[in-house]
Amino acid sequence: MSLGPTVLHVLHVGCDPAPVVNLQAYDASSPRFLASVAPDADVAVTQLTRGTVDCVVCDAGALDADGWAFLHRVADLARDLPVVLTTSADDIPAHLYDATVPSGDTTRLASVVTELVRTDDPGPPAGETAVALLDRADEYVAHVARDGTVRMVGASTAERLGLARDAVVGRQLDDLLDPTTAGELLSIGRSVLDAETGREFSDELGGRHYHAVFEPVGPDCFEVIVRDVTAARRTERAFHEERAFLETVVDSLTDVFFVLDLDGRLVRWNDRLEAVTGRDETSLRGADPLEFVADADVPEARRQLDAVVDGGEVTAELELVDGNGETVPFEFTASLVTGDDGTPRYVCAVGRDISARRATQADLDDAIAELERSNAELEQFAYVASHDLKEPLRMVSSYLQLLERRHADDLDEEASEFIEFAVDGAYRLQEMIDDLLEYSRVGRSDRALELVDCNAVLETVRRNLAVAIEDSGATVEVGDLPTVQGDRSQLVELFQNLVSNAIKYTESGERPHVTVTADAADDRWLFVVEDEGMGISADRVDRVFDLFYRSEIQDSTGIGLALVQKIVERHGGEVWVESTPGEGSSFFVALPRE
Ligand code: ADP
């Protein structure tokens, strides 16, 4: 804090302090300007953390990327501190400064600074004396003559010395302070009088830190304002330690991390970004991150950045160009950072190198493609093999039957029996080939799916199985079934296999009882084909859908349920069985609803 509007401490950042030196020399009765000059941002920040500055003046023309980042730090450190830019500044975010003044216009600068600080600090009520002001100040204030006589002190100074103000005024400095301190203060005060300009310095005394401002207040009298900055120093140190800690954490990330301002310029980043882009600090500061995004991904990156600024959190895969010009895939997550008042301030992003993941995905895609290819080949093989086997098989069975018919009288009983076995074998082979052919056709079918009424499907099934139903004395009950999107003949095949198994796998002597029902379950239809047959033991239940997995009974090929599974999968559904040996089985078929 300043001493109110009578003394304004102006910090100039930049190499040419002319504007504020002129300001100091500016002939205005009130306020007086006390100027200090910080050649670079770090010195300026140190001054700011001491809290002795009322207003910052920057030459916008001299603001390079560093100085510009400095404005962000000012906003972070002391949000309310007025910042004035000399000359025009089109490309600086408006929230980083309070006013611009044409360079060289000292009168304007003086009035803008005064105005801004007044707005910031209403100052003392009119009519209050300088002494009353000094008394209210936290600083130790004294006016000292060149010969070391104390002319005036603030209340806190007298209090610190343990004396009444009257007992201090008129005494020599070395009467009041230890000789070394008094000598130092006097020598700086005299140099200030000689140079006719103010000076500041910092020192440590008895484990406490002080910051002193010396200023000539008359031809032979100087003012010294001493502020105990121990607490500020501690805060500053804690701030630096905290900052160093955060930087270490961020730098040790194996991911890329960076922060952009709302104009999309880099303000912070970690070592990993430097390593990936092959760029150093100077070339990264203020850079546009789209510069190191691969050309093809720039429009997408821009879209995503806009989406973050609009308030969203985004995740995007983008390719970066590394220091060797190679592209590297990254997955970025970015979000908006807002200030305490909720206004957007920065975009913060973390990017992970996903080269390894991409490579694994590519391998996986290759493996899937290979699997699909070999599957198709296998289906083609099964089709060709079963199709081509049919003809020679037909020849074998028809000649066997011819032999049986024409030469029955010439053959003895054993030969007839052998022929019968051979015919039977050929018949079973025929069945297996037919089933296999059917199985291979499911995958090869490119018939479009249509709306199929499952009630009609079950009617067909019932007709096709009329003989088996009749012979076994089975009852087949069918509930109200839905219409589904499917391949009609495959759906007939599906339910025919399930119903015929339900009839077939019944203990001998029992009359099979089969029910077919369907219910809506979420986004699927759940069909159940239930029987009261022999059931399936727990150790076999997982294998019944395997190709060629079958029981030992006569007309079993082990293809029926494999075919069922293939048809269900082709329809985007799922099939499973629950069974209790001796009580029956329930086959569940879940098909998508339209
Ligand atoms: P298949 O009936 O030609 O042997 P499937 O693939 O249709 O071939 O069936 C495989 C095996 O699953 C059958 O051999 C039988 O052991 C068992 N199975 C199928 N359906 C039932 C059922 N409803 N009840 C009991 N076991 C069954």
DSSP code per residue over 150-199:
EEEE-HHHHHHHTS-HHHHTTSBHHHHS-HHHHHHHHHHHHHHHHHTS-E
DSSP assigned state of 60: G
With helix as H, strand as E and coil as C, how does 338-385 read?
A: ECCCCCEEEEEEEEEECHHHHHHHHHHHHHHHHHHHHHHHHHHHHHHH
| pLDDT over 90 at 274, yes or no | yes
Ligand 1 center to residue 551 CA distance, Å?
7
Which position has the higher pLDDT, 116 or 242?
242
Atom of ligand 1 at shortest range from CA of 559: 6
Atom of ligand 1 at shortest range from CA of 550: 14
| Complete DSSP assignment for 263-326 | TS-EEEE-HHHHHHHT--HHHHTT--GGGGB-GGGHHHHHHHHHHHHTT--EEEEEEEE-TTS-
Atom of ligand 1 at shortest range from CA of 587: 23
Closest residue (by CA) to atom 20 of ligand 1?
A: 501
Ligand 1 center to residue 454 CA distance, Å?
23
Closest residue (by CA) to atom 13 of ligand 1?
A: 550
Q: What is the mean pLDDT of the chain?
A: 85
Closest residue (by CA) to atom 25 of ligand 1?
A: 535
**Predicted pLDDT at 284:** 92
| pLDDT over 60 at 111, yes or no | yes
**Predicted pLDDT at 2:** 34
Ligand 1 center to residue 469 CA distance, Å?
17
Closest residue (by CA) to atom 2 of ligand 1?
A: 556
pLDDT in tens, 4-26: 446 778 888 766 667 777 776 66
Task: Classify 103 as helix, strand or coil.
Answer: coil
CB 517 within 8 A of CB 588: no
**Predicted pLDDT at 62:** 63
CB 223 within 8 A of CB 143: yes
**Predicted pLDDT at 305:** 92
| pLDDT over 60 at 1, yes or no | no
pTM reported for the whole predicted model: 0.47
Q: Which residues contact ligand 1 via a Cβ below 6 A?
A: 497, 501-502, 505, 531, 533-536, 544, 549-551, 556-562, 585
pLDDT in tens, 544-554: 999 888 876 65
At residue 31 the predicted structure's pLDDT band, cuts being 50, 70 and 90, is low
Length of the chain: 594
Give the residue, out of 472, 504, 544, with the most ligand 1 atoms within 8 A of its beta carbon, to mutate for a pocket test: 544
**Predicted pLDDT at 132:** 54
Ligand 1 center to residue 577 CA distance, Å?
11
Ligand 1 center to residue 387 CA distance, Å?
25
Ligand 1 center to residue 561 CA distance, Å?
7
Atom of ligand 1 at shortest range from CA of 551: 14
Closest residue (by CA) to atom 23 of ligand 1?
A: 502
Ligand 1 center to residue 512 CA distance, Å?
15
Which position has the higher pLDDT, 365 or 75?
365
Atom of ligand 1 at shortest range from CA of 549: 10
Cβ-count burial of 577 within 10 angstroms (0-12 exposed, 13-18 middle, 19+ buried)? middle
pLDDT in tens, 35-75: 777 766 677 777 777 667 888 888 776 666 556 667 777 77
Closest residue (by CA) to atom 21 of ligand 1?
A: 501
pLDDT in tens, 463-474: 999 999 999 999
Give the residue, out of 431, 432, 505, 580, with the most ligand 1 atoms within 8 A of its beta carbon, to mutate for a pocket test: 505
Ligand 1 center to residue 375 CA distance, Å?
24
Q: What is the mean pLDDT of residues 441-454?
A: 82
Quote the CA–CA distance of 429 and 341 in Å, as a whole number.
82
Atom of ligand 1 at shortest range from CA of 562: 6
Give the residue, out of 548, 561, 566, 586, with the most ligand 1 atoms within 8 A of its beta carbon, to mutate for a pocket test: 561
pLDDT in tens, 126-155: 334 445 555 555 678 888 999 999 988 887
Atom of ligand 1 at shortest range from CA of 557: 3
Ligand 1 center to residue 386 CA distance, Å?
22
Ligand 1 center to residue 391 CA distance, Å?
28
Tell me which residue of 122, 67, 119, 77 sits closest to 98, measured CA to CA. Answer: 119
CB 451 within 8 A of CB 489: no
**Predicted pLDDT at 67:** 61
Give the residue, out of 428, 528, 550, with the most ligand 1 atoms within 8 A of its beta carbon, to mutate for a pocket test: 550
Ligand 1 center to residue 193 CA distance, Å?
111
Q: Which two tokens stand for residue 389?
A: 């086997």
**Predicted pLDDT at 129:** 45
Closest residue (by CA) to atom 12 of ligand 1?
A: 544
